[in-house]
């Protein structure tokens, strides 16, 4: 259903081992399918800071009836960061949409691991193609300095 790619933003070839902003990209293809309900597209680890996300429609969507698409992070312990429900009729080629301002604003710190989900509501989607790009900072990879390496400030 999707192909994931990781792009480091700072130009290194370390990809997912870096604690700098990364763009995780994946394509969702609905060709010749019948999709309805919630589908998990990708999982993000506890401690990730989600800076934002956007989606771009590659191929226009069609549905049986008047389907809607909503996608993003929905875990209740961290608060949601999700798009508004977008009607399939709006999802024409090159349409771009992001998170709704009604929900948690960026950056969003994941207090628990969370999935980036796609929710097809109302009815079934038959065709369409969507590219998703999530910009985030992964949690530290274990290279956190110990107490001897911290700069100390006396605040008394």
| CATH at 136 | 2.60.120
For the cut 80, the answer to whether the pLDDT of residue 36 exceeds it is no
* Mean per-residue pLDDT, 14-34: 72
According to the model, what pLDDT value does residue 102 have?
61
Residue 81 is assigned to a structural domain of this protein: yes
Q: What is the rounded distance in angstroms from the CA atom of residue 121 to the CA atom of residue 10?
A: 37
116: how many CB neighbours lie within 10 A of its CB? 23
Q: What share of the chain is helix, strand, coil (3-state, %, to 5)?
A: 5, 50, 45
In a domain, 155, yes or no: no
pLDDT tens digits along 119-141: 888 778 888 898 999 999 888 76
What is the pLDDT of the chain when averaged over all its residues? 76
Could you report how far apart the first and last alpha carbons of the chain are, in Å?
56
Q: Is 148 helix (H, G, I), strand (E, B) or coil?
A: helix
Residue 67 lies in a domain: yes
* pLDDT confidence band for 1 (50 / 70 / 90): very low
pTM of the full predicted structure?
A: 0.72
pLDDT per position as a tens digit, 77-124:
445 677 778 888 899 999 988 777 666 667 888 888 888 888 888 778
**Are 96 and 130 within 8 A, CB to CB?**
no
Q: Which pLDDT score is estimated for 15?
A: 47
Residues 6+ apart with CB under 8 A from 9: 20, 21, 22, 23, 135
120 domain-assigned:
yes
CB 53 within 8 A of CB 72: yes
Name the percent of the chain lying above pLDDT 70. 70
Contact 5, 23 (CB under 8 A): no
Domain that holds residue 32: 2-8+20-141
Could you give the number of structural domains in the chain?
Answer: 1
- DSSP annotation of 15: G
Confidence band, pLDDT 50/70/90 cuts, at residue 16: very low
Q: Is residue 102 included in any domain, yes or no?
A: yes
For residue 152, being part of any structural domain is answered with: no
pLDDT of residue 8: 53
Does residue 135 lie within any of the structural domains? yes
For residue 14, being part of any structural domain is answered with: no
Backbone angles phi, psi at 148, to 5 degrees: -70, -20
């Amino acid at each position: 259903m999707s192909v994931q790619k990781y792009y480091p933003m700072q130009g290194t070839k370390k990809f997912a081992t870096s604690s700098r902003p990364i763009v995780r990209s994946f394509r969702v293809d609905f060709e010749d399918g019948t999709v309805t309900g919630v589908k998990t597209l990708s999982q993000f680890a506890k401690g990730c800071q989600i800076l934002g996300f956007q989606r771009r429609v590659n191929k226009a969507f069609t549905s049986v009836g008047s389907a809607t698409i909503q996608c993003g992070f929905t875990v209740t312990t961290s608060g949601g960061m999700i798009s508004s429900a977008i009607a399939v009729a709006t999802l024409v080629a090159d349409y771009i949409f992001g998170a709704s301002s009604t929900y948690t604003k960026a950056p969003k710190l994941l207090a628990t691991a969370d999935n980036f989900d796609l929710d097809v509501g109302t009815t079934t989607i038959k065709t369409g193609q969507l590219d998703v790009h999530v910009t985030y900072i992964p949690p530290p990879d274990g290279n956190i300095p110990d107490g001897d390496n911290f700069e100390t400030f006396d605040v008394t």
